[in-house]
Amino acid sequence: MRQLRALVIALLGVLRLRRTAKEQQHSSKGDDERIVASAPPNRGSELVVVALLLAAAVCAVAFIVFYAIDDLPSHTQLLGLSFGLALAFAAAALIVTGHRLVVSEEIAEEYPEPEEPEEQEAVVEIVHESGDRLTRKRLLGAAAGAAGTAIGLAAITPAASLGPGIETKSLYDTPWRRGRRLVDDKGKAYAATEIEQGTFYTAFPENAKPDTIGAPVVVVRLDPAALQLPAGRSGWAPQGIMAFSKVCTHAGCAIALYRKPLFPPVQPRPALLCPCHYSTFDPAKGGEVIFGPAGRPLPQLPLTVDGRGELRAGGNFSGPVGPSWWGVREDQAS
């Protein structure tokens, strides 16, 4: 172990001596021996570049924060503005660096043959000498690293929502709670006696925002003897009344059609349909997919009937609301 430590220390010492010797060699050269003409430092421009890079980093971090807080007003506009400014500040930093901090000159001559050792050494020397006017290399390097890291994280942040990365519980939150009444679009509570077989109803949670994705539900009534609900849902459909999310689990369209057979002996049983891609769900089996591209059943909302005969939620949905790919993170986590 001691020998290994001594070897590492020796290697670091050799590298440091070589770097020091190289720096002394370049610093000992006069202006006549330089390939690129010397130029005075421009510390003001260096500070401008540092400020632009830090501004890019701040904007990129702001993008990550805005993405994580999805209930902000003008959410999409804030995302576009923050990420766009991050790229704009980074581009401005590169432009200032190229015009103010890198020594440049125009030489009209033919290109030499490639892979000449002398020419390769000259190129290396040109690169080294072009950065002579930089006096805050560590500060510039740290600012560039911060900006690059922040912009890189901002670029991959949206992809994290497709897997177990950033917490996305908000995709599964809904306004439904046990005891919350089902109301129509005018706020009138639904009574169990008002729900008829063969009719399609849309309901919303009382005293909650009706435009959230987990708010609207479809309500139907079937013969209790025809129900074949999944295990654990025997009490979810009082008097044969059932409620399901109105958002299709395929692409997020609204469930807007209800198929009721006019001639039951020969026609399929009642079903909920999405008009976008014709995903079809069987309410008698807890929203099971019986046709179409939907990847999972419609989430069912448990119902109860209170003492006044009005419909109330018995809890939250049986699963996450929305397109099936929204459940990727939850399925992997479980």
Once rounded to an integer, what is the mean pLDDT over residues 325-329? 47
Does the pLDDT value for residue 21 go beyond 60?
A: no
Residue 191's Cβ-count burial label (10 Å; 0-12, 13-18, 19+) is middle
Does the pLDDT value for residue 327 go beyond 50?
A: no
pLDDT value for 55 = 92
Higher-confidence position of 297 and 322: 297
State the Cα–Cα distance between residues 292 and 40, nearest whole angstrom: 71
Which residues are registered as beta bridge partners of 220? 242
pLDDT value for 201 = 93
Phi-psi region of 254 (alpha: psi -120 to 50; beta: other; left: phi over 0): beta
pLDDT value for 211 = 80
C-beta of residue 220 within 8 angstroms of C-beta of residue 283: yes
C-beta of residue 169 within 8 angstroms of C-beta of residue 163: no
C-beta of residue 300 within 8 angstroms of C-beta of residue 243: yes
pLDDT value for 4 = 47
Q: Phi/psi at 79 (nearest 5 deg)?
A: -65, -50
pLDDT value for 33 = 66
pLDDT value for 329 = 39
Does the pLDDT value for residue 11 go beyond 80?
A: no
In this predicted model, what pLDDT tens digit does every residue of 247-260 receive, in sequence order? 998 888 889 888 87
State the Cα–Cα distance between residues 203 and 69, nearest whole angstrom: 28
pLDDT value for 303 = 94
pLDDT value for 334 = 35
Mean pLDDT is highest, among 12-21, 31-40, 151-160, 208-217, for 208-217
Does the pLDDT value for residue 108 go beyond 80?
A: no
Nearest of 158, 171, 174 to residue 66 by alpha carbon = 158
Does the pLDDT value for residue 300 go beyond 60?
A: yes
Instruction: Give, to the nearest 10 degrees, the angle between helix 137-160 and helix 75-96.
Output: 150
Residue that is written with structure tokens 């999405």 in the block: 274
| Report field, pTM of the whole predicted structure over 0.85 | no
C-beta of residue 283 within 8 angstroms of C-beta of residue 259: no
**Three-state secondary structure call for residue 173:** coil
Higher-confidence position of 166 and 256: 256
Does the pLDDT value for residue 5 go beyond 80?
A: no
Once rounded to an integer, what is the mean pLDDT over residues 135-164? 77
113 pLDDT band, cuts 50/70/90, is low
